Chains A and B, each alone.
Chain A
Amino acid sequence: MSVELRVTDLVTGYGKQEIVHGVSMSARSEEVTCVFGPNGSGKSTVIKAIAGLLPAWSGQLHLGDTELTGLAVHEVVRQGIVMMPQGGGVFPRFTVMENLRMGGYSLRDTAWVEERIETLIDDYPSLQRRRHVAAGSLSGGEQMMVAIARALVPEPAFVLLDEPSAGLSPALVGETMTRVKGLRERGIGVVMIEQNIREALPVADRLYILAGGYRKFAGTSADIQDDRHLMSLYMGGD
């Protein structure tokens, strides 16, 4: 069953600084929704607001019929929305296994979490071998794999990814995008922020472009005519 994650007229920012001036967007499960935009366009701010890291100043957030507006960050996780911050956000002093267990923290049933981790880790042979290594000593790519696996532990409805390709080598960017496609096949909805448009565009089902805190474009990758069209949208043209 497809679920919709809906953002309506969101206004938010940091401190007293308004960054996002009324953005609406929607994402569905079993789809990859990409949000592009230059630095400072407010794309990270939008998904931080969805995850509850920032309060919505006005506007609403919904997951299906459930209202998310005003929920604290740990309550949003319990609704089935997991955010992966930039760089993966693994806990450097925790081992790979401890990181994965943190992924299941929102669930009471620890036996189920252990079982779930065992099934997940089979898909990640490099992590399998390094279960008891501190996550901080892993490479950037391996940390990203830990972060993605960890996000899957609670069987979320939606995963929010903040620039998963940032700081990775070109080969690893490819692997990360393959993993993102894999999430869609599992029936999870993905909302992904990316700077690396060339790699992300082929994965995207839906596309939003933000500039200066406003939505400049909404559509599918088929709606983008060519590179020049994309560039002009990106730079804030019409």
Chain B
Amino acid sequence: MDVLLQALLNGILIGGILICLTVGFQLTFGVLHVIDFAVGGWVMLGGYAAYWASRLLGVDPFISVFFVFVLFAGVGCALGPLIYHVRTSRYARPDLMALAFTFGIFIMMRGGALWLWSFDSRSVDSVLSGASLSIGPVTVPLLRLSAFGMALLLGLGLFVLLYRTRFGMAVRAVAQNRDHAGLMGVDVKRVSAYVYGIYTGITASAGVLLATIYSVNPEVGVRYTLFAFFVAVLAGLGSVGGVLVAGLVLGLVESLVGTYVGTRYSLLVVFATLYLVLLISPKGILQRGI
């Protein structure tokens, strides 16, 4: 029983991190129709930003995470119009061009990080590192709990932004039909740029948390890109609400298998889950994707 409780808790905490990682990616897909290969790259750069903030300025990652959000949101807003331009090009297959474009960005991020900071793994220390809470029989690592809290906050924040504001209504309209949103007076290009900025901000913040929990090196991007793809497919491509469920499901699957079957089987089961979802319910577990 205690083991089960601990496994469930671990699963939920991992799920929170997966949600952080994917929610912005999913929003970008829904609004810009771009599968951003660079998602792992933003995670990696966010991690390095936290590392240097901690190393050079002595700022704890749980404080620098807010500055990282603002910084990367700014970078994303600046890059957004370029992505939009590629995606809406009048020439052949802009969908594939956008994929190739973001793949190129990803390669540059990885190469740049290798060149600047070498292959060494860097760990980011926080006051919360190593600390944990004991609630009855289960141990709660504070770092992961905070990351989970962050995921909840992001989920709630996005919900409020999307469903309670004028900007959110414009975003949802653009996600349904770009031309029709424009005909209502929505500046589609600007909305798309802001959405890309929100995405890069959230994803880089997730990178701060991930670098604090694990560590960061220039190669981590590939793994996180794959994870984001997995959660997105499970959630149904483009469905932001689905990410909250899919992230938790995937986290629980990984943790339960790791506890009862063996850690080396957890990725296998995660892949098998995805295979089954694609086979049985290709629109995702909530049937809300594209």
Contacts and interface: CB of A to CB of B under 8 A. Distances in A.
Nearest to A16: B90
A224 interface: no
A84 B177 CA distance: 13
B182 A89 contact: no
Interface residues of A, number: 28
Contact of B169 (A15, A77, A89, A102): A102
Contacts, number: 64
B185 A78 contact: yes
Interface string A5-19: 000000000110000
Interface in B181-197: 181-189
Interface residues of B, number: 20
Contacts of B166: 105, 110
A10 to B, nearest CB: 19
Contact of B185 (A53, A74, A85, A92): A74
A93 interface: yes
A73 interface: yes
Contact of B177 (A15, A89, A101, A154): A89
Contacts of A85: 179-180, 183
A57 interface: no
Contacts of A105: 166, 169-170, 173, 184-186
Given A89-B183, A105-B186, A106-B185, A15 B173 contact: no
A73 B183 CA distance: 6
A102 B184 CA distance: 6
A53 B176 contact: no
Q: 9 smallest A-B Cβ distances: which pairs?
A: A106-B185, A77-B185, A73-B182, A89-B180, A91-B176, A102-B184, A74-B187, A105-B184, A74-B185
Interface of A: 14-15, 51-53, 72-74, 77-78, 82-85, 89, 91-94, 98, 101-103, 105-106, 110, 150, 154
